[in-house]
Structure 1
């Protein structure tokens, strides 16, 4: 199994409690640290029949590590969604997720393959949507530490609760009786409906405040912020 301790130390050093990454310091101080860690682990034998908790921790960590390593290579950038003359370059945006640029266990992976084929289809864990991060402000807050098999279910539960109780991601307006949601809850709606009868009821199960949410609650989806999840060093 992969040694996650080097990755854990990097996250604790460069991620703040708001999930923002200090790319400036990371690139200046340890630009090769992720690549070196991944390189030292990539030829390990991976048993696809290992237990689900090991696979969950493994692939969430790898997804986030691959993402951050790509940002560090390209930094400084403002967003993973580049613009040409003010117009979003959607081809470059899709290529960020679709390119099989990450070599591990004798195979090349893309971020899309890890997310869709492994985390969603194979492992069937909807809470991964509040753990894997695409380096954007609209994403879940990046955890300032690695995922470990013996803790991953608790960690995913914490991530989901943090997301649902963050008014920048989810909020309920009592006056208009409208539930405002991050678009992750729209894009991956079918994943959440496998474990809950409706999106409002899925959200309600994680909220600290018991709002009157049910299947008929009006939903309005918030604009997604694609700007980089960076922390500017003081």
Structure 2
């Protein structure tokens, strides 16, 4: 297993309790530490006998660390969605996630491979959608600490509660009786429907308001904010 202490220390130093990342300070003070840690920890081959909890902590940490490392190299920037003359460049955006440039455990990976092949298909854990980050405001907030195998299930449950009880991500409008959701629930609908019969029923156990959510509850999806999730020193 990897030693997550360096990653944990960096997160505690540069990520606040609201999940905002101080990229400016991180890049000024310790620009190479994250890449050095990634290189030192992933140059050998991965043991075949690690268990599910170890895999979850490992691949969530790696996904987030690789994402943050890529942003640090490009910082300053306003959004992870580049634009050309004001028009979103979706090709460049998709290439950021699809390019197989991360050499890990003897293989080349893309962020998309880690997400879809390992975290979604192999590990089958819907709550990873509240943990892995794309560095935008719309995505889950970055945890100010690493994931650890002995804590990862509790951490994922905390992430789900934080995401679903953030009114910028999920809220119920009593006036029009509609549940407004982050588009993650639309894009990864099939993952959530493996756990519950509908999106409202998946959300209901986590949402801290007195409302009955059922399959018949009206659902509307919020606009997604691709601007960079960061804070100024």
RMSD of aligned alpha carbons: 0.7
**1:177-204, Cα deviation, whole Å (9 max, x unpaired):** 0000000000000000001010001000
- TM-score, structure 2 length as denominator? 0.99
Equivalent in the alignment of 2:124: 124
- Structure 2 partner of 1:30: 30
Partner of 1:109: 109
What pairs up with 1:1-234 in 2 under 5 angstroms? 1-233=1-233
Q: Once the 2 structures are TM-superposed, how far is the Cα of residue 48 of structure 1 from its aligned partner? A: 3.7
Structure 2 distance, partners of 1:71, 1:48, is 31
Contiguous gaps of at least 5 residues in structure 2: none
C-alpha distance in 1 between matches for 2:176 and 2:89: 36
- Match of 2:68, SS state, is helix
4+ residue runs over 2 A deviation:
none
Residues in 1 aligned to 2:142 and 2:24: alpha-carbon distance in whole angstroms: 17
Matched pairs, number: 233
Alignment gaps of 5+ in structure 1 = none
Superposition deviation, residue 158 in structure 1: 0.1
What is the deviation of 1:73? 0.4
In structure 2, distance between residues paired with 1:140 and 1:113: 19
Shift, 1:209, TM fit: 1.6
Quote the offset at 1:63 in angstroms.
Answer: 0.2
Displacement of 1:45 in angstroms is: 2.8
SS of equivalent residue, structure 2 residue 12: helix
Deviates more, 1:46-55 or 1:182-191: 46-55
Deviation at residue 43 of structure 1 after TM alignment: 2.1
Query: In 2, are the aligned partners of 1:80 and 1:96 still within 8 Å (CA)?
Result: no
